[in-house]
């Protein structure tokens, strides 16, 4: 379904009934990443997926898409659907958006699951890497996307999931150059939101990939412990929903059902 927001089209899906659950994709992803998960959750819940700014079928509003800008998109969709409170499940960048949403609209959050994501801001080294990524994607768009997607998977899993990697690449290549750069710029300037997890009065879960090369697992374990957040460690990389599909779904279902 398409909704107009600040002069652009926003794509979302809405199905099922029960407690609302919003699924937020990561960088270079779109609503299709949830296609194997949505049917299960929607048996007992209302499930909304949203293409975030500059991704999928949602347009770009500028050359910097902050996490607050993306959270505003989520709010627009929820208002349109007349949803007052929701559970948020965000993969990678989607987790950053979920935390921004929780900071801006705290009364609307029933729970947050961060999948292969963090509440911490980018380190200085990470910011430099974002700048390098922006330069690389401007120089060779296809090569950047191919390398970026491959590196999301644990090295030991790349042969096993080569077909999945190709599918993810093809979807990622649908992301316009402006959308990629704007998201990188937005992630680079995002705030540290550990206080959201630490002070939360809602249910929270952190899903960690032990071989995640994007966000180090030991850092995430320390974050979970310091913010009193429940966490689960999976034997894969940054793409837990593919590399550990069954247990990922199991943990998500348990988290949603608990609420």
Mean pLDDT of 19-46: 97
In the chain, helix, strand, coil percent, each to 5?
45, 20, 35
pLDDT in tens, 215-252: 999 999 999 999 999 999 999 999 999 999 999 999 99
b/e 193-205 (16+ beta carbons within 10 angstroms → b):
bbebbeebebbbb
Give the mean model confidence (pLDDT) for residues 129-135.
Answer: 98
- The range of the structural domain enclosing residue 13 comes to 2-258
DSSP β-bridge partners for residue 194: none
pLDDT the model gives residue 105: 98
Burial code (b: 16+ CB inside 10 Å, e: under 16) for 43-55 equals eebbbbbbbbbbb
DSSP assigned state of 7: T
Give the span between the Cα atoms of 241 and 32, in whole angstroms: 12
pLDDT tens-digit series, residues 140-150: 999 999 999 99
Q: What is the CATH number of the domain that holds 135?
A: 3.40.50.1820
Tell how strand 45-50 and strand 8-15 pair up: antiparallel
The whole-number average pLDDT for the span 26-53 is 97
Give the residues across from 177 on adjacent strands. Answer: none
pLDDT > 70: what percent of the chain?
A: 100
The answer to whether 193 and 68 have CB atoms below 8 angstroms apart is no
> Rounded mean pLDDT of the chain?
97
* Residues 14-23 pLDDT 10s: 999 999 999 9
State how many domains the chain has: 1
Smallest CA-to-CA distance from 64 within 130, 149, 141 is with: 130
Q: Please tell me the predicted confidence (pLDDT) of residue 249.
A: 97
Look at residue 194 in the predicted model and tell me its pLDDT.
98
Mean pLDDT, range 71-89, rounded to an integer: 98
Q: Taking 90 as the threshold, does the pLDDT of residue 259 lie above it?
A: no
pLDDT digits (tens, 9 = 90+) for 148-194: 999 999 999 999 999 999 999 999 999 999 999 999 999 999 999 99
What pLDDT, on the 0 to 100 scale, is given for residue 258? 73
pLDDT at 57 over 80: yes
């Amino acid at each position: 379904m398409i909704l107009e927001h600040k002069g652009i089209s926003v794509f979302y899906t809405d199905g099922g009934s029960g407690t609302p659950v919003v699924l937020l994709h990561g960088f270079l992803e779109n609503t299709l990443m949830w296609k194997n998960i949505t049917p299960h959750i929607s048996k007992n819940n209302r499930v909304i997926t949203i293409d975030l700014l500059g991704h999928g079928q949602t347009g770009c509003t500028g050359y910097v898409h902050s996490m607050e800008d993306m959270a505003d998109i989520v709010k627009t969709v929820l208002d349109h659907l007349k949803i007052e409170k929701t559970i948020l499940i965000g993969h990678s960048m989607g987790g950053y958006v979920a935390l921004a949403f929780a900071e801006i609209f705290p009364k609307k959050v029933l729970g947050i699951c961060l999948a292969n994501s963090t509440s911490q801001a980018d380190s200085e080294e990470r910011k430099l890497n974002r700048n390098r990524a922006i330069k690389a994607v401007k120089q060779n768009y296809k090569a950047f996307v191919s390398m970026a997607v491959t590196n999301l998977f644990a090295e030991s899993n790349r042969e096993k999931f080569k077909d999945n990697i190709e599918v993810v690449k093809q979807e990622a290549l649908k992301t316009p150059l402006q959308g990629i750069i704007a998201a990188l710029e937005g992630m680079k300037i995002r705030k540290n939101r550990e206080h959201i997890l630490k002070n939360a009065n809602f249910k929270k879960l952190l899903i960690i990939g032990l071989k995640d090369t994007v966000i180090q697992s030991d850092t995430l374990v320390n974050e979970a412990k310091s913010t009193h957040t429940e966490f689960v460690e999976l034997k894969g990389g940054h793409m837990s929903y593919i590399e550990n599909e069954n247990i990922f779904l199991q943990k998500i279902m348990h988290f949603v059902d608990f609420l």
